Amino acid sequence: MAFVIGSKVYVSGGQNQAALGTDYFGDLWEFDTVNGIWLKKSDFRGGVRYAGVSFTIGNTGYVGTGLDQSGNVKNDLWAYDASTNAWTQKADLPGEGRGYAVGFTADGKGYVGTGLNSGKKPLNDFYRYDPSTNSWTQTASISGARSQAFAFVINNKGYVGNGTGTSNLQMYDPSTNIWIAKAGIPSYTSIGGAAFSINGKGYAGLGMQNTTPDKRVYEYTPSSDTWTALPDMGAVSVGGIGFAVGSTGYFGLGGGYNGTAPGVDVWTYKP
C-alpha cells in the first residue's frame, strides 16, 4: 500500500513469499522523491497487513482493508498524519471485509471497492469515505465483480480496470454516481497490475498474465478513449505499487511470484 503527501511517498505493509516461508510487514517507510532517501516512520497500527488499499485526502494518508498474516480479511481504516508521524483509527468500512480491493480519491473523498471477501468471492460494491464526518456511504457498484484490479484518477473521475475475470475499464463520475464503460487495454488481461495518472492521462500495466509476469505498460487518453503501448518496464512487478509525484510516475516493489523474492526497486517514468 502506498500514498503520496506532497513530494513524499509512504509505503506500508506487504508480504515476502520467499523460499523459506512468508514474512508479513506492518512497518511504514517514507520516500523523499526530491533527495531519493528512505526513512522509517511509525509502524502501521493496524498490525501486519497485505493486499490492502490506500489513498490520500489533503495532507492525510489512509490505509485499510486487506489481510493479516492468518489470511483474515479486514474492513478497518487508519489515517496517517505525516506532521506528527501518528496513526489514528477511523470508521470501519461498512461492507464486507476484503483483500485485493482498490482505493482512490476523487472530489475530496476516498473510494474503496471490489476485492475478495472471506469466502474468496469477488466483489463489485463501492463505498465513499468522507473525512469531514468520518463516515462511509455506499455508492453505485461497478459493472463486473473483480479483485486485483488497477485504479487511477483523471479530472476527478475514478477509473478501475482489469482484475480477476475481466479486462474491461470502468469510469466512475462522483457527480452522477454512475459507472461508464470505457475501452479496456487491448490484449492485456493481466491482474495484480499498478497504475497512476499524470497530466490528464492514465498509466497502467505490469502484473501477471496467467502464470507469466507482465512488463507491459500502457498510456490512456480519456479524450479519445484509447490506449497506447509504452516501452516495457525494466523489471517485473506483480502486486506492486504505482503513484505519481508532479509530472513523474513511479512503479515498483511487488514480485514474489512462484516462490521468488519480491522486488525492492522503484522505477520512474516521465512522459
Q: What angle do CA 252, 11, 68 make, to 5 degrees?
A: 105
List the one residue out of 143, 169, 171 whose CA is nearest residue 157.
171
Confidence of residue 1 (pLDDT cuts 50, 70, 90): very high
Q: What is the pLDDT of residue 251?
A: 94
Q: What is the pLDDT of residue 23?
A: 80
Cell reading at 161: 480496470
Q: CA–CA separation, 42 vs 26, rounded Å?
A: 10
Map out the domains of the chain with their CATH numbers: 2-269 (2.120.10.80)
pLDDT (average), residues 255-267? 68
pLDDT greater at residue 237 or residue 162: 162
Return the bridge partners of 153, or none: 158
List the one residue out of 68, 162, 170, 182 whose CA is nearest residue 126.
170
Residue 4 has pLDDT above 90, yes or no: yes
Residue 252 has pLDDT above 90, yes or no: no
List the one residue out of 270, 109, 103 whose CA is nearest residue 203.
270
Residue 19 has pLDDT above 60, yes or no: no
Q: What is the pLDDT of residue 254?
A: 82
pLDDT (average), residues 45-56? 96
Q: What is the pLDDT of residue 213?
A: 87
CA separation, residue 166 to residues 49, 124, 181, 202, 270 (Å): 26, 12, 12, 19, 29
Q: What is the pLDDT of residue 21?
A: 55
Q: Which residue has the cell 452522477?
A: 176
Q: CA–CA separation, 154 vs 225, rounded Å?
A: 12
pLDDT tens, position by position, 96-114: 999 999 999 999 999 999 9
pLDDT tens, position by position, 104-162: 999 999 999 999 999 999 999 999 999 999 999 999 999 999 999 999 999 999 999 99
Mean pLDDT across the chain: 94
Cell reading at 141: 457498484
CA separation, residue 262 to residues 50, 69, 253 (Å): 13, 17, 7
Q: What is the pLDDT of residue 24?
A: 86
- Grouping H, G, I as helix, E, B as strand and the rest as coil, residue 38 is strand
Q: What is the pLDDT of residue 260?
A: 54
If residue 197 lies in a helix (H) or strand (E), which one and from where to where? strand 194-198
List the one residue out of 106, 185, 114, 100 whose CA is nearest residue 144.
114
pLDDT tens, position by position, 166-193: 999 999 999 999 999 999 999 999 999 9
- Grouping H, G, I as helix, E, B as strand and the rest as coil, residue 185 is coil
Q: CA–CA separation, 31 vs 45, rounded Å?
A: 19
Q: CA–CA separation, 68 vs 48, rounded Å?
A: 6
pLDDT tens, position by position, 197-224: 999 999 999 999 888 889 999 999 999 9
Q: What is the pLDDT of residue 253?
A: 87
Q: Are 9 and 33 in contact (CB under 8 A)?
A: yes
Q: Which residue has the cell 485504479?
A: 151
DSSP conformation class of 91: P
